[in-house]
Structures are given as C-alpha cells and as structure tokens.
C-alpha cells in the first residue's frame, strides 16, 4: 500500500495542474448574469440625433456586442457577426473608447451587423457593464435581463456550442 | 572646440528643465491619498497581477478616475469597493476574500503543512523503532571485536 503513495500524490497534483492550467484567467465571471442590464443612453454612431438604450431592444432576445475600431480581435469577429445578423439575430453594439472616431467609417467599409451602435467615448458605460477589454458580448433576454457573457471574439464554435442553445431557448 | 562641446553638453543637461511638473490628475490631495490607498487593495483587471494603484493600463486609469468620482460624491471606502465588485465581481479585490469558493486557496497551504507534519512525525517514529534496542552480550561483543581486528590485518 505504501508504495502507491508517491503515485497517488503525483496523480492528485497532476489533476490540479490539468484543470488549473486549462482555465483562462481572462474569463472573469460576470456578476451581471441574472441581473437587469444596466441602464444607459448613448448617442448612435452615424445618427447623432438618435439615442440608444437597452429599453430599445426590450421584447427581443439580443446580443450586446462591445467593440472598438482599434481592436484587432473585433475585426476577426466581424465576419461572424455579419453572418449572425443575416440569420436574423438582433445585434446591438457599443463603440468603446473610440478616440480616433473611426467607427462610422469602419462600419461603412466593412459592413454593419448592428441594429444600432451606441457611442461610449469615455468608456463609462463599459465600466458599468464590467467590461475589461474588447470584444465582449452579452446575451440579453426579452425582459432585459443579462443571461450570458462571452469574453473574446465570438467564434462559430462558441456560437454553436454556448450561445445559440441559450438564444433559442430564450426565444421560445 | 572643447568649450563648444562643453556648452552643448550643458544645454542637453538643461533640457529636462523644460519638462512641466507631472500634472496631478486629482485636484484634491485628500481624495488622491484615499484613492491610492484603496487602489492598492484592488486588482488591475488587464494586468491581473498588478494592483490598481500601480498599473499603467488605460482601464486602470479609468477605474482610478471612477474611484475619485465616487469619493467626491461622498462614498466611503466600503461603498466604493461595493461599486466595483458589483461590476467586476470579487476578482477586482487584490486580496481574495474568504468565501466558500476560496476555502481551498486559503486553507490549502495549512492543510498541506499539517499533512507534512503528521507524515514527518510517523516517519521519525518508524526510524526510532528500527534502531537496535537489544542488549548485546559481552561475549558477542568480544567475538565481533576479534573478527573486525582480524579483517583489518
């Protein structure tokens, strides 16, 4: 029995390493899951007379995508978002800390998957949502409650496995 | 020539004199001090091993600004911390709070120390038991001595 002890100790430590090293420290759990989406009123990119608030999307199951023109990962995600928009997924954007004012041109050139994009120049709305970087996407239900947060670009895999099932469920 | 070089050198040394004094971002030194003290207990969420006080990340500057504003609104330290944990969760605290899901983190080292101490105790006991405690007879001792001396010749 005694001879198994080193092996058991090794196995336990290896187990901790296996789990621990596979975790991503960037994926900080959001305290907003299950809570109402924080209020905001932002000017709309490209339509300065209009404003955008979460109330505008009430009654829909929608994605709130926090992005920025200077964010490289957001470009990667852009193609996926265009596809989702074509499929009929309501996507609203928040243009986060766009100091160079590139958002309007970018959307005109690359295509606009957003119903509307709010202009969060000083980043305060982002802070109210617990944003630490871009892109981050919230899945919000018909009552305006945040149900899921995806950190990083939405890949086709992430959509299929994590977001789509919940999206469909909330839509029934 | 030497004089010229000397003068140029002197000018270069004087250049930093043009630098303005670092702009204090906060106007109120009391709040600034409070904010810095609090920020040392908070984590920068971009450079996750740095404190909010020490990090140069843009998000860290934004959050320090938020803290200053909350303090100007009259919030005390506890309320400011609540403001941040409401948005970022417990991870924004640099010192992990003692909760059910951090039990392993806090108690783990102590548990390992105890396991180590107990194992050490049992190993020591066994070693002591292995030591010869029998009394060796005078005869056997002499025989052994003779044998050993025979060998060394």
- Which residue among A28, A97, A133 places its CB closest to the CB of B88? A28
Q: How far is B69 from chain A (nearest CA, A)?
A: 12
pLDDT at B136: 73
- Which residue among A29, A127, A133 places its CB closest to the CB of B89? A29
Bridge partners (DSSP) of residue A93 are: A65, A117
A35 contacts chain B (CB < 8 A) = no
Q: Record the tokens describing residue B64, joined without a space.
A: 């320090």
Contacts of A97 in chain B (CB under 8 A): 58
CA distance B91 to B44: 9
Among A152-161, B82-91, B143-152, the least confident range: B143-152
Q: How far is B105 from chain A (nearest CA, A)?
A: 12
DSSP state at residue B96: P
pLDDT at B126: 84
CA distance B35 to B62: 13
CA distance B73 to A41: 21
Q: Does the model's ipTM exceed the 0.90 cut?
A: no
B149 contacts chain A (CB < 8 A) = no
Low-confidence ranges of chain A (pLDDT < 70): none
- Which residue among B48, B87, B91 places its CB closest to the CB of A127? B87
Tens digits of residue pLDDT in A18-67: 998 998 888 888 899 999 999 999 999 988 899 999 999 999 999 999 99
N residues, chain B: 153
Are the beta carbons of B89 and A129 separated by less than 8 Å? Answer: no
> Residue B130 above 70 pLDDT?
yes
Contacts of B112 (CB under 8 A, 6+ apart): none
CA distances from B123 to A9, B126, B128, B133 (A): 17, 5, 9, 18
* pTM of the predicted structure, to 2 decimals: 0.77
DSSP state at residue A40: -
């Amino acid at each position: 029995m005694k001879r198994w002890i080193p092996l058991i100790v090794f196995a336990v430590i290896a187990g901790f390493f296996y789990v621990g090293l596979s975790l991503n420290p960037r994926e900080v759990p959001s305290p907003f899951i299950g809570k109402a989406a924080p209020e905001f009123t932002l000017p709309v990119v490209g339509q300065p007379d209009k404003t955008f608030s979460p109330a505008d999307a009430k009654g829909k199951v929608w994605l709130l995508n926090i992005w920025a023109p200077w964010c490289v990962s957001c470009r990667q995600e852009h193609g996926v978002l265009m596809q989702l928009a074509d499929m009929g997924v309501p996507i609203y954007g928040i243009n986060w800390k766009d100091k160079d004012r590139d958002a309007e041109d970018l959307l005109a050139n690359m295509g606009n998957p957003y119903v509307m994009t709010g202009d969060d120049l000083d980043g305060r709305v982002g802070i109210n949502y617990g944003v630490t970087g871009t892109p981050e996407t919230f899945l919000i239900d018909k009552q305006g409650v945040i149900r899921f947060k995806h950190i990083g670009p939405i890949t086709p895999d992430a959509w299929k496995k994590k977001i789509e099932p919940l999206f469909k469920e909330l839509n029934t | 020539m030497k004089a010229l070089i000397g003068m140029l050198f002197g000018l270069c040394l004087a250049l930093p004199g043009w630098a303005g004094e670092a702009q204090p971002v906060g106007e109120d030194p009391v709040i600034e001090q409070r904010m810095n003290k609090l920020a040392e207990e908070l984590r920068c969420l971009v450079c996750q091993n740095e404190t909010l006080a020490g990090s140069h990340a843009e998000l860290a500057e934004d959050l320090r600004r938020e803290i200053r504003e909350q303090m100007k609104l009259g919030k005390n330290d506890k309320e400011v911390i609540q403001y941040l944990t409401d948005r970022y969760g417990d991870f924004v605290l640099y010192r992990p709070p003692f909760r059910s899901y951090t039990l392993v983190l806090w108690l783990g080292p102590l548990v390992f120390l105890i396991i180590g101490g107990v194992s050490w105790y049992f190993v020591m006991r066994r070693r002591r038991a292995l030591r010869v405690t029998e009394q060796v007879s005078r005869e056997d001792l002499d025989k052994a001595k003779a044998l050993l001396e025979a060998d060394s010749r």
